[in-house]
Structure 1
């Protein structure tokens, strides 16, 4: 029996990187997983890989109504939700003098607004008083400084605050809320922060050098942390921000 046997979960941004690793881990633990993403091709690939254990539905967390089709599918299945991993989001470098209104709004609509819309829309479907769990993706940058990444950092600090506030707000409904705070993780999104493809190796090497463990983390390592927070193993944990960053924020 897996930690999520006969449970139902939702993962947003579940077609690559950390999100996809979490989908795979949840399925391995016995869950049926609804996967939300913007790319129909990537969603099809997830369905082909994992088959009947997933329901992949196109959706955009950053706009109101963007997840309607996802939650319609959840309602039609009739099992509600036991876990939500609100993971979709991203960011780009911008020095303070280069921050544009578009850069700010795009980052906050996805990373902050998208999490609000996901959790708000998920609440009626959550199997409350049954140790239901919401896990948000923050980042260790919510307590660190990173030049030219201030808007992204601010958006992730907001996620950290949501986890605390929503944990207090939903505790009497039997819903736990936590966040997971990855450090630099070897994902396509991290490589994509490089200004040019040929600069990616230097970027990743520099990030790894700043980690006490002297390496990048893997999406699978984050998936293990998310599984813990989403499963009954963390039944006495709520409101926390779990740093999975090789010690970068703590040592």
Structure 2
């Protein structure tokens, strides 16, 4: 067990699968106490039992501001502080420019941008009173270039990236850092249509799909490596720890060189879902 987050309290949204789950596990290993959220109550409770007494699970949907506030309130009620907020929850967004509906637009903005904005809103008063805090927002390489995601997803993640910089400047006088992470092709349930759809797949189907996915994702990077949730979790760990205290308004790109090389995916075509 490490101690890079010893004594710190964190909230991680979307913590029941993929990047969020890996981050919760790593943060606990490094000494943090963590509140994590997710829509899947059964899985969340099982993970809280697995991770132990240093975690609390709050079932909820980050599209609802009240659920975000409840998670942050749980952290302060249980441990009387909040040192890190990782606005991680998200998902892929479909639709085309010619068929997009108002409902799809609002769903994308609520899930990918609103969840970040309202997470910051409810974390800030606590962090201001402390005179410290680290806010981390999950952005995407889709915010940096075209062909890394659908237009709704890309636009929303670009908004997250800019929101991060604006918030970082506004909150700097209180010692609060605000940064984003831009994951590249990370092998997570987002490529299966989300964790709920993956939960309906049998183990053999998931294993076969994951093997194909990892091969294709590796081919899209100069390093010829597949990204895994823990690769992003380690980036979040750095930004949440005292080691990242001099970093703010920064977008940490973790993509094995994919955007620098200008690659889209293994076939040179837009990916079927969002990165």
Same fold (TM over 0.5): yes
What residue number does 2:185 align with? Answer: 184
| Structure 2: distance between partners of 1:131 and 1:165 | 17
Q: Secondary structure at the match of 1:104?
A: helix
Is residue 240 from structure 1 mapped to residue 253 from structure 2 by the alignment? Answer: no
Cα displacement (A) at 1:129: 5.6
Return the match for 1:220 from 230, 245, 251. Answer: 230
Cα displacement (A) at 1:204: 5.5
8 A Cα contact 1:14 1:20, kept in partner: yes
8 A Cα contact 1:58 1:69, kept in partner: no
8 A Cα contact 1:96 1:148, kept in partner: no
What residue number does 1:142 align with? Answer: 143
8 A Cα contact 1:167 1:178, kept in partner: yes
What residue number does 1:99 align with? Answer: 100
8 A Cα contact 1:192 1:200, kept in partner: no
Q: Which segment drifts farther, 218-227 or 139-148?
A: 139-148
Cα displacement (A) at 1:148: 6.5
Cα displacement (A) at 1:57: 1.0
Mapping of residues 88-237 of structure 1, within 5 Å: 88-126=89-127, 131-146=132-147, 149-192=150-193, 200=209, 205-237=215-247
Matched positions, count? 250
What residue number does 1:36 align with? Answer: 37
| Structure 2: distance between partners of 1:230 and 1:128 | 18
Q: Secondary structure at the match of 2:80?
A: coil
Deviations 1:42-76 (A, max 9, x none): 21111111110101111221123122432332232
| Structure 2: distance between partners of 1:35 and 1:89 | 14
Q: Which segment drifts farther, 59-68 or 110-119?
A: 59-68
Is residue 9 from structure 1 mapped to residue 1 from structure 2 by the alignment? Answer: no
8 A Cα contact 1:82 1:127, kept in partner: no
What residue number does 1:74 align with? Answer: 75
| Structure 2: distance between partners of 1:62 and 1:34 | 17
What residue number does 1:18 align with? Answer: 19
8 A Cα contact 2:81 2:126, kept in partner: yes
8 A Cα contact 2:177 2:247, kept in partner: yes
8 A Cα contact 1:8 1:82, kept in partner: yes
8 A Cα contact 1:74 1:80, kept in partner: yes
Cα displacement (A) at 1:241: 0.2
- Aligned-pair Cα RMSD in Å: 2.3
Q: Which runs of 5+ in 2 are unaligned?
A: 262-275
| Structure 2: distance between partners of 1:241 and 1:175 | 16
8 A Cα contact 1:95 1:148, kept in partner: no
8 A Cα contact 1:80 1:127, kept in partner: no
Q: Which runs of 5+ in 1 are unaligned?
A: none
8 A Cα contact 2:36 2:57, kept in partner: yes
Q: Calculate the TM-score normalised by the size of structure 1.
A: 0.91
| Structure 1: distance between partners of 2:11 and 2:70 | 13
